[in-house]
């Protein structure tokens, strides 16, 4: 009888221990959310040429590793070399044209200065002639008085009159010269203003020179863009280019997986994320490396997922999927995980699956 009781007690203890283990495992599952719906992600750089042209040199193979700065392929540079030479020639021609305009501006300024000098000379001559007219007029009046008294001769009087008339005529010529000089100044100033408007600013700030110089720089850049280099360390993926293929500007032609950007996305049920916070430790088990779990850390939690219901469908009416009222499926929210201390021999590949366990602090 005692043996039977002992047997029952041992059995009961084993059952209780099993139940305790199950409860502990369930509590661990509830406290530390876990999902098998994890994916390896990484930044994929779309290599996009900046210029169009046939590929003449292809230095990469599919799935090859490249370092930042390595040449991926080269586009035929001949068209862009010609464009650069044309831009340089245009810059030289523009420089010569600007220099010619600068000379014209200087000539116009010299013309304005000469015209202003002519005005000063004419005004000075008029002042001198006014003084001489005053003197000659006084002498002529004096000689007329002397002739009445018989103190001079008629010839002297007539000569005084001639001297006065000559100076008056000279003054008229000087006035005409002043008017002509002022008109010349206005013409010279108009020519100067026109030449300055055509020329624009002097030196390197001249708009024509800046445009021509910018064209040279653009041509140099386009020539430089014929050599396409890797912007980051990574793997060339799904390469379909061949020598002779046409590269099209601003159209992606191959993908480069950034090896320094891998992360894991775990999709957790919405009723499991309440206690998950940024910084929580995690354990990631890749399906390709089932025996090598890797430590990780929660970086962030997604703030939204795409909604199917309500999207526009036929005749602009909303799409609404049928549901079973007694079944309510939990949505899955993406959580971003950064790996820590990943073994060097472990190769991550975008899209491969993983199991993710988050160790919450509750």
Band the pLDDT of 213: cuts 50, 70, 90. Answer: confident
- pLDDT surpasses 90 at 284: yes
Give the closest residue to 167 by CA, choosing from 113, 128, 195. Answer: 128
Summarize the confidence of residues 62-91 as an average pLDDT.
Answer: 93
**Would you say residue 36 has pLDDT above 60?**
yes
Task: Give the pLDDT of residue 100.
Answer: 59
Read off the tokens for 148. Answer: 């009445």
Mean pLDDT confidence for 135-139: 75
Q: State yes or no: pLDDT of 151 exceeds 90.
A: no
- Walk across the sheet containing 234-237 and list its strands: 44-47, 254-258, 234-237, 65-66
pLDDT given at position 47: 93
**Which position has the higher pLDDT, 149 or 85?**
85
User: Residue 108's pLDDT is what?
Assistant: 66
Model confidence band, residue 62 (pLDDT cutoffs 50, 70, 90): very high
Tokens standing for residue 101: 């305009």
DSSP letter assigned to residue 243: T
Whether residue 149 is predicted with pLDDT greater than 90 in this model: the reply is no
**Does pLDDT of 51 surpass 80?**
yes
Ranked by mean pLDDT, the top range of 47-61, 82-96, 303-317 is 47-61
pLDDT the model gives residue 326: 63
Mean pLDDT (the chain, rounded): 81
In angstroms, the CA 229 to CA 75 distance is 12
Under 8 Å between Cβ of 260 and 292: no
134: which 2 tokens?
């005053």
Residue 164 predicted with pLDDT over 90: no
Q: Model-level pTM?
A: 0.65
The answer to whether 253 and 247 are in contact (CB under 8 A) is yes
pLDDT recorded at residue 196: 61
Higher pLDDT, 80 or 361: 80
What pLDDT does residue 98 have?
Answer: 64
pLDDT at 257 over 90: yes
Distant-in-sequence, close-in-space partners of 217: CB < 8 Å, separation ≥ 6:
none
In degrees, to the nearest 5, what angle opens at C-alpha 305 toward C-alphas 32 and 339? 45
Q: What is the DSSP letter of 238?
A: S
pLDDT band at 248 (very low <50, low <70, confident <90, very high): very high
**Residue whose structure tokens are 């001949």:** 78
- 3-class secondary-structure state, position 188: helix
Domains, the chain, ranges and CATH?
Answer: 32-45+259-359 (2.40.30.170), 53-74+226-251 (2.40.50.100), 80-221 (1.10.287)
| Range 29-33 average pLDDT | 70
């Amino acid at each position: 009888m005692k043996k039977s009781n002992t047997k029952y007690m041992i059995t009961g203890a084993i059952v209780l221990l099993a139940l305790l283990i199950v409860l502990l495992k369930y509590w661990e599952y509830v406290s530390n959310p876990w999902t098998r719906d994890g994916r390896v992600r990484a930044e994929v750089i779309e290599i996009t040429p900046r210029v169009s042209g046939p590929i003449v040199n292809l230095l990469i193979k599919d799935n090859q590793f490249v370092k930042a700065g390595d040449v991926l392929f080269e586009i035929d540079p001949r068209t862009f070399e010609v464009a650069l030479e044309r831009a340089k020639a245009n810059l030289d021609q523009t420089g010569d044209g600007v220099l010619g305009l600068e000379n014209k501006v200087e000539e116009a300024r010299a013309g304005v200065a000469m015209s202003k000098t002519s005005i000063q000379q004419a005004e000075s001559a008029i002042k001198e002639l006014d003084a001489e007219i005053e003197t000659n007029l006084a002498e002529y009046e004096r000689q007329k008085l002397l002739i009445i008294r018989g103190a001079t001769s008629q010839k002297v009087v007539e000569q005084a009159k001639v001297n006065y008339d000559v100076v008056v005529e000279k003054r008229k010529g000087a006035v005409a010269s002043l008017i002509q000089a002022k008109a010349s100044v206005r013409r010279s100033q108009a020519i100067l203003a026109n030449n300055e408007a055509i020329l624009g600013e002097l030196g390197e700030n001249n708009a024509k020179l800046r445009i021509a110089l910018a064209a040279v720089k653009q041509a140099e850049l386009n020539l430089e863009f014929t050599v396409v280099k890797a912007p980051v360390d990574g793997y060339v993926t799904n390469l379909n280019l061949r020598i002779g293929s046409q590269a099209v500007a601003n159209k992606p032609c191959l993908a480069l997986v950034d090896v320094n950007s891998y992360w894991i996305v775990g999709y957790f049920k919405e009723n499991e994320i309440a206690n998950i916070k940024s910084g929580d430790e995690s354990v990631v088990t890749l399906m390709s490396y089932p025996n090598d779990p890797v430590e990780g850390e929660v970086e962030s939690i997604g703030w939204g997922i795409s909604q199917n219901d309500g999207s526009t469908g036929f005749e602009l009416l909303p799409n609404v999927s049928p549901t079973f009222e007694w079944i309510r499926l939990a949505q899955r929210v993406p959580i971003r995980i950064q790996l820590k201390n990943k073994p060097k021999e472990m190769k991550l590949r975008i899209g491969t699956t993983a199991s993710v366990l988050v160790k919450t602090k509750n």
